[in-house]
């Protein structure tokens, strides 16, 4: 189903964004992908109650379209007081900078997203049968690369490390199991990184690429 019927809501909130902007600072902003919507409102004390008003305006605009908000997924969160919210597979929360003053928006892959890609790794290996290790690793690489390419714009280093360790462990376990079938006693820790990455070509590009200046504020 096309989502063009939401264009008028996009235009309305864009007008509100421009009208309430104060120099380079935007008191209200609006983000939509398909039917997933996030409205951000300044936490300044002069904007108290604006979040609730924005939600009310959204409901009023959706009504004539015959569309209702999902009550289980719709909520007002207070990020200055530690609340987090999810959007398009990411968890977003306001945290203090380690150096200097001010805060930034920490953007990390949701736990469900990490579990999903680990489950995909397990499924590929489970159904690998007698597929040669190099070809099986190529399938794993394709699955993992897509996940990394989606989440690399955030603060995903810890999540990447978690999934990378899981991938390495599963591949080492597979290789050990195959060796034992051939009556060769090799512990899974004996498979070096040089073998996994240099010989089998296991995916290695676990780098984040934060978007410069995005999510930072004083």
Which of the residues in the chain have pLDDT under 70? Answer: 1-3, 181-189, 210-218
**Residue 214, pLDDT score:** 47
Q: Is 181 exposed, middle or buried (0-12, 13-18, 19+ CB in 10 A)?
A: exposed
- Domains of the chain, residue spans: 4-110, 111-199
Q: What confidence tens digit (pLDDT) does each residue in 110-151 have? A: 999 999 999 999 999 999 888 999 999 999 999 999 999 999
Question: What is the per-residue pLDDT across 63-85, written as a single tens digit (0 to 9) for each?
Answer: 888 888 888 888 888 887 778 88
On the CB side of 75, how many CA atoms lie within 13 Å of its CA? 10
Q: According to the model, what pLDDT value does residue 187 have?
A: 53
Buried b (16+ CB within 10 A) or exposed e, 132-143: ebeebbebbbeb
pTM listed for this prediction? 0.75
């Amino acid at each position: 189903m096309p989502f063009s019927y939401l264009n008028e809501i996009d235009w309305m909130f864009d007008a509100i964004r421009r009208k309430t902007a104060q120099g380079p600072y935007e008191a209200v902003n609006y983000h939509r992908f398909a039917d997933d919507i996030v409205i951000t409102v300044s936490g300044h004390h002069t904007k108290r109650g604006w979040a609730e008003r924005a939600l009310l305006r959204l409901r009023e605009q959706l009504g004539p379209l015959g569309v209702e908000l999902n009550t289980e997924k719709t909520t007002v969160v207070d990020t200055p007081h530690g609340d987090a919210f999810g959007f398009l597979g990411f968890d977003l929360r306001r945290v203090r900078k380690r150096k200097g003053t001010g805060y930034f928006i920490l953007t990390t892959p949701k736990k469900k997203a990490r579990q999903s890609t680990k489950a995909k790794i397990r499924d590929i290996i489970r159904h690998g049968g007698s597929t040669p290790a190099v070809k099986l690793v190529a399938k794993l690489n394709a699955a993992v690369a897509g996940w990394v390419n989606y989440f690399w714009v955030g603060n995903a280093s810890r999540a990447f490390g978690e999934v990378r360790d899981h991938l390495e462990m599963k591949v080492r376990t597979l290789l050990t199991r195959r060796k034992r079938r051939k009556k060769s006693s090799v512990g899974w820790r004996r498979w070096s990184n040089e073998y996994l990455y240099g010989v089998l070509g296991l995916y290695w590009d676990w780098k984040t690429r934060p978007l410069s200046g995005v999510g930072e504020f004083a």
